[in-house]
Structure 1
Amino acid sequence: MTLSLSRPELILKLIVEQYLSDGQPVSSKALADNVQLAVSSATVRNTMMALEQQGLIRSPHTSAGRIPTTAGIRLFIDKMLQLQPLSGFWINELQRKITPQLPISLLCQQAGQLLTNLTGFVAIVSAPKAEGRIVRQIDLVRLASDRLLLVVIDEDGDILHRVLHCESAIDNSTLSKVLCLLNAALGGGGQWQDGIERLGTIVRSETGLCQQLLQKVLGQLSLDELQQHQPLIFGQHQLLLTPEYQQNPALQQVMEMLERPDGLIRLLQSLTLDDKPKLLLGKESGFIELANVSLIAQRYQSQPQRFIALLGPRRMNYARLIPLVEACARQLNLNLNRRQASP
């Protein structure tokens, strides 16, 4: 599709495209030499001056070159950006790595890790589990006289398995009693969190080795419940390697926000209320910590609401990355629907 642009729009488009490509200020001479313009350097300079007065470009220092502002990049994305089709390699990777056979937690992990691997940026996936998680099965398997394997399976097929090390040998009678109490607390298709609360009550009424074992199980169940309700974040180290991070200490605030992501998750939840891809540039997010980065986000499930997002420097290849995040969300949604439709 060919865009019909005015001269100022075309000049802005060329500035943004060059900046997104190499991060360098664009001079009027470089623009005047562009065959798409066919105008004099004076005309380009006058147009650039007008664009600067409109707040769409700015001079980063005393050089003659200009870079786009957030407003300039936003206008480019909203009016001039032409999205590119996914490469065959990316399509194959999405289909190969995000498959319906995987439990939901692993499906989300695969999607986030793949997005980071393909882009080199930070991927954020909403918590794999929603409230009301159901326990389908719980078991204790003897590995040795003083070691047990805890196995818990939830309704999505996700399996928790943890080795429990005990201070003394566990006789069969104690093992049978503990397993009976665990099934009383968590068995029968009850909710995970409710089961944890019931198990906590049971622990307080027991003594000795039986109580010790139940406390170990309670600790593992509580930790897993906490982890399952935390967002998945991949590729933080990738941000550390970007030239922008090396040159801009303000990006260190992003790392701190990723370590305590509650505010970021609320932002992404409010952003992904429909099935359209969303893009936030810098200060548009309302968070000073995100002033130097961009977020591409897409909802992939409405009930419960789940999203996937990509965070990186403002200088992203939006034409390629927006379709990638969309495709990743579609693949997740497709496979979640296949799982739900399976008998």
Structure 2
Amino acid sequence: MPSPEDRRFAVLQAIVSDYISTHEPVGSKTLVDRHSLGVSSATVRNDMAVLEAEGYIRQPHTSSGRVPTDRGYRQFVDRLAEIKPLSPPERRAIMEFLEGGVDLDDVLHRAVRLLAQLTRQVAVMQYPRLTSSTVRHIEVVPLNPARLLLVVIMDTGRVDQRLVELGDVINDEQVSRLRSLLGTALEGKRLAAASVAVAELASQAPHDVRDAVVRSATVLVETLVERSEDRLVLGGTANLTANAADFGGTPTGMLTVLEALEEQAVVLKLLAAVQQPGMVTVRIGEEMEDEQIRSASMITTGYGSAGTTFGGVGVLGPTRMDYPWGIAAVSAVARYVGEVLSAR
């Protein structure tokens, strides 16, 4: 026989599930009719009274049913016994869709569109952080005898292109040597080590290509050193309008969330705090640090491979969201994005 605490959690779980589905306050009779709780309506009413006194549910209007509070959602999330896994066809469809991306930008945009469709929330994804990147390849492309294009390709799929204006013309043989010197110094190194290597290369280069190496190194250091700005990809922002009433009950509540998404800094801060891939974080309502999004919840995790986190990914929506499905969808998309980028 379940303990009173377990029985009350079963009641809370039923209230959360019904409220997510119907967006209507839930009464004791409804719970007894819809769920096999194994107790009478009177017992359910008593359990609801205890849950309300403990701050897990509240009564929005006199004579109405109950709705979960932020604390109730937290208890529900913390005690999730299992997350409904995606079916093999669903996982296969996600992988095939992401593999169709032609480059990093396309893969990330596909990922947020897919995640927004799966969860019906706003999907957010951080571009791969440079600190977690390794230089996979560097290409030197002569545009004319006095101008070069440097193309730096990271293991995350990130590509940076930089122009180098030379002080003098160089021939094809010198371009080939420059390409070899830069490749030997940089390829396979993390960004911090690569920036040191390219700086040292400038002082050790052969005399006839030294000027080209110095100019290239100056440009590359700007690429290899972590930049303060970050980039965010959004998908499904229009989904907020379908849940406008959930954000504080007024249009202003939803507008503040939209403003936070537009400014990006608040969301980027949350994504930057994510742990390694496979570890999911759920922030609910008042747990959000920024006041702009305290009427929302956010599910986040990291994406990457081989123990390296490239960046963060997640969904943002009202506190009345389907947490089990959201956690499953975010986890799956993060996993497959990491696999796709690592294979390129």
TM superposition score normalised by structure 2 = 0.69
CA contact (8 A) 1:244 1:313 kept: no
Q: Could you tell me how far apart the structure 2 residues matched to 1:275 and 1:11 are? A: 30
Partner of 1:172: none
Partner SS, residue 85 of structure 2: coil
Partner of 1:288: 291
Over 3 Å counting, the alpha-carbon distance change for 1:9 and 1:274 in structure 2 is: same
Over 3 Å counting, the alpha-carbon distance change for 1:140 and 1:260 in structure 2 is: farther
Partner SS, residue 297 of structure 1: strand
Over 3 Å counting, the alpha-carbon distance change for 1:257 and 1:138 in structure 2 is: farther
Partner SS, residue 13 of structure 2: helix
Over 3 Å counting, the alpha-carbon distance change for 1:283 and 1:229 in structure 2 is: same
Partner of 1:93: 93
Query: How far has the Cα of 1:59 moved from its partner?
Result: 0.6
Q: Could you tell me how far apart the structure 1 residues matched to 2:235 and 2:267 are? A: 14
Partner of 1:29: 29
Q: Could you tell me how far apart the structure 1 residues matched to 2:121 and 2:104 are? A: 23
Structure 1 stretch displaced more, 39-48 or 118-127: 39-48
Verify: 1:307 aligned to 2:306, yes or no: no
Which residue, out of 265, 271, 289, partners 2:268? 265
Q: Which runs of 5+ in 2 are unaligned?
A: 162-168, 196-218
CA contact (8 A) 1:126 1:307 kept: yes
Partner SS, residue 316 of structure 2: strand
Partner of 2:207: none
Which residue, out of 320, 323, 333, partners 1:318? 323
CA contact (8 A) 2:119 2:325 kept: no
Over 3 Å counting, the alpha-carbon distance change for 1:107 and 1:129 in structure 2 is: farther
Q: Deviations over 1:278-337 (max 9, x none)?
A: 111111122222222111111122545412111112122222221111111111222333
Partner SS, residue 55 of structure 1: coil
Over 3 Å counting, the alpha-carbon distance change for 1:158 and 1:140 in structure 2 is: farther
Q: Deviations over 1:36-74 (max 9, x none)?
A: 134433332222111110101101122331001111111
Partner SS, residue 73 of structure 1: helix
Q: Could you tell me how far apart the structure 1 residues matched to 2:302 and 2:33 are? A: 43
Partner of 1:338: 343
Query: How far has the Cα of 1:228 moved from its partner?
Result: 8.8
Aligned residues: 298
Q: Could you tell me how far apart the structure 2 residues matched to 1:153 and 1:84 are? A: 41
In percent, how many aligned pairs have the same letter? 30
Partner of 2:280: 277
Verify: 1:136 aligned to 2:138, yes or no: yes
CA contact (8 A) 1:130 1:229 kept: no
Query: How far has the Cα of 1:160 moved from its partner?
Result: 7.5
Query: How far has the Cα of 1:32 moved from its partner?
Result: 3.5
Partner of 1:233: 234
Matched AA of 2:300: A
Partner SS, residue 52 of structure 2: helix
Partner SS, residue 55 of structure 2: coil
Partner of 1:103: 103
Q: Could you tell me how far apart the structure 2 residues matched to 1:310 and 1:60 are? A: 27
Partner of 2:49: 49
CA contact (8 A) 1:136 1:154 kept: yes
Partner of 2:206: none
Query: How far has the Cα of 1:271 moved from its partner?
Result: 3.5
Matched AA of 1:154: I
